[in-house]
Chains A and B, each alone.
Chain A
């Protein structure tokens, strides 16, 4: 008998929680419907395509290569990102630069976003702080595989 009562009590408590949420949220929804702006909203939903959450400063999004002052990529094709990449998605081909101060530049720098897991290891590994994942571009979709191969050495 006591056990049965405990069960019923807990059931009622559960229903109480859900209905409290319902009525409280409903109140705020209704207030908003009648044009009364409250600080609290009835729902925590963000209406995604129209509303965007601000990306955290330490977010990771599409890669970019920081340009030098003259606009050329600052990457020196050291391939440390290639080495550290756990999903083996970066491929770099190096080329000779006539400037002896630069010497090594990427002839091709491709990130295969099909494979990339956005771990950010490449950013950490980069000795010249060339590759960064701060473009804020998180909507990466393409209808072809080739469309997801990001050429980073060309601006």
Chain B
């Protein structure tokens, strides 16, 4: 019993550390990737004892800077709520990560330990719910700031998130119909099979439209460019108008956590999670008939690595998107949500249902 608790605790710590470190790393990646895209170099000055490491210490320098900034709140703001808002956002996003499987199971000290904090049987719903709850952070921050721009920003945020929540949910219905489960670990396991004997049975191959809708709606949910209407720094500054220092840092960090959660969910639901193509528990079984035996520990390592690589690819993709496209207009963003993504999601369900019915 005690061992179970300890194991869960260890997994929680590991998962959180992984997420937070990745988010920290992403702040650096964002700077560097945008710089490289724009023929620049990017932050490279932060150093420890003269060691620069391409500016890898920049996130720590930023963190220290934000920690030591003045904890400012406007005169008429509601102090408690003002503080609570960023923690709200931060908390719900970091909670969402617990349902994501990082790998398959490992055998340690005679126990089978799934590399997943909790294997919820309704994990898909859980993650969606947690992401939706994050909206309270935005709403509260806008209200507590006692600032018109912040309020407008938070209302925009709420409207945008609710709109895309619908599309996000609809896009997953088809997937759940194909892999008849709401458990993420079950979905990942189902994606280990092969399609037509050679193609990995990943969600993206079964539900290409569903993935497109899911990824787009998910990106809108992260509130980053080109979907940064709630922030809109060139027009209304947005819901963190009155935030500075650590509190602003939390908001910013939440953004990166959302990027990670979206990447992890995309990986898990549509790109086989920790699955490596053609790698079974015993080793590779290539479709052209070749076989390659791999030690069980190596299989686990490969799978965790694959998961991380996929997540990282989606993070990269999102940052690329963020630095490529300009911001949508508000009516365009609503159009995209309600008139494009929602009908596409419904259509996807229809098509999936028809195909499933036809195949009996």
Report A's interface with B, CB cutoff 8 A.
11, 14-15, 17-19, 21-22, 25-26, 29, 42-45, 47
Residues of B within 8 A of A47 (CB): 41
- Indicate if the CB atoms of B39 and A21 lie closer than 8 Å: yes
> A18-B320, A21-B36 are contacts. A45–B325 as well, Cβ < 8 Å?
no
Q: What class of interface size applies to chain B in its complex with A?
A: 10 to 19
**Closest CB in chain A relative to B16 CB, distance in Å:** 30
Residues of A within 8 A of B356 (CB): none
- Indicate if the CB atoms of B320 and A22 lie closer than 8 Å: yes
Report B's interface with A, CB cutoff 8 A.
33, 35-41, 320-321, 323-325
The residue of chain B having its C-beta at the shortest distance from the C-beta of A44 within the complex is: B39
**Closest CB in chain A relative to B32 CB, distance in Å:** 10
Residues of B within 8 A of A45 (CB): 39-41
**Closest CB in chain A relative to B52 CB, distance in Å:** 12
- Indicate if the CB atoms of A18 and B39 lie closer than 8 Å: no
- Indicate if the CB atoms of B321 and A43 lie closer than 8 Å: no
The residue of chain A having its C-beta at the shortest distance from the C-beta of B321 within the complex is: A15
**Closest CB in chain B relative to A42 CB, distance in Å:** 7
**Closest CB in chain B relative to A18 CB, distance in Å:** 4
Residues of B within 8 A of A43 (CB): 35-36, 39-41
> Looking at the complex, which one of B39, B323, B324 makes contact with A25 (CB distance below 8 Å)?
B39
- Indicate if the CB atoms of A14 and B325 lie closer than 8 Å: yes
CA distance in complex: A47, B40 (Å): 11
> Looking at the complex, which one of B40, B41, B324 makes contact with A18 (CB distance below 8 Å)?
B324
- Indicate if the CB atoms of A44 and B40 lie closer than 8 Å: yes
> Looking at the complex, which one of B38, B41, B321, B325 makes contact with A21 (CB distance below 8 Å)?
B38
| Number of residue pairs spanning A and B whose beta carbons lie under 8 angstroms apart | 40
Residues of A within 8 A of B323 (CB): 18
CA distance in complex: A25, B37 (Å): 7
Closest 6 CB pairs of A and B: A45-B41, A18-B324, A43-B41, A25-B36, A22-B37, A18-B37
Residues of B within 8 A of A14 (CB): 324-325
> Looking at the complex, which one of A15, A26, A44 makes contact with B320 (CB distance below 8 Å)?
A15
Residues of A within 8 A of B325 (CB): 11, 14
CA distance in complex: A47, B44 (Å): 10
The residue of chain B having its C-beta at the shortest distance from the C-beta of A29 within the complex is: B36
Residues of A within 8 A of B39 (CB): 21, 25, 42-45
**Closest CB in chain B relative to A55 CB, distance in Å:** 22
The residue of chain B having its C-beta at the shortest distance from the C-beta of A8 within the complex is: B212
**Closest CB in chain B relative to A33 CB, distance in Å:** 9
CA distance in complex: A29, B39 (Å): 11
Pick 25 A–B contacts, CB within 8 A, sort by A: A11-B325, A14-B324, A15-B320, A15-B321, A17-B324, A18-B37, A18-B323, A18-B324, A21-B36, A21-B37, A21-B38, A22-B33, A22-B36, A22-B37, A22-B320, A26-B36, A29-B36, A42-B39, A43-B35, A43-B36, A43-B40, A43-B41, A44-B39, A45-B39, A47-B41
CA distance in complex: A42, B35 (Å): 10
CA distance in complex: A33, B38 (Å): 19
Which of B40, B321, B323, B324 has the most A CB atoms < 10 Å from its CB?
B324
Which of B33, B37, B321 has the most A CB atoms < 10 Å from its CB?
B37
> Looking at the complex, which one of A15, A29, A44 makes contact with B324 (CB distance below 8 Å)?
A15
The residue of chain A having its C-beta at the shortest distance from the C-beta of B326 within the complex is: A14
**Closest CB in chain B relative to A113 CB, distance in Å:** 28
The residue of chain B having its C-beta at the shortest distance from the C-beta of A25 within the complex is: B36
CA distance in complex: A29, B36 (Å): 9
Residues of A within 8 A of B41 (CB): 42-43, 45, 47
CA distance in complex: A115, B240 (Å): 37
CA distance in complex: A19, B38 (Å): 10
Residues of B within 8 A of A17 (CB): 324
CA distance in complex: A17, B36 (Å): 12
Residues of B within 8 A of A21 (CB): 36-39
CA distance in complex: A26, B37 (Å): 9
CA distance in complex: A48, B3 (Å): 57
The residue of chain A having its C-beta at the shortest distance from the C-beta of B45 within the complex is: A47
CA distance in complex: A29, B41 (Å): 9
The residue of chain A having its C-beta at the shortest distance from the C-beta of B212 within the complex is: A8
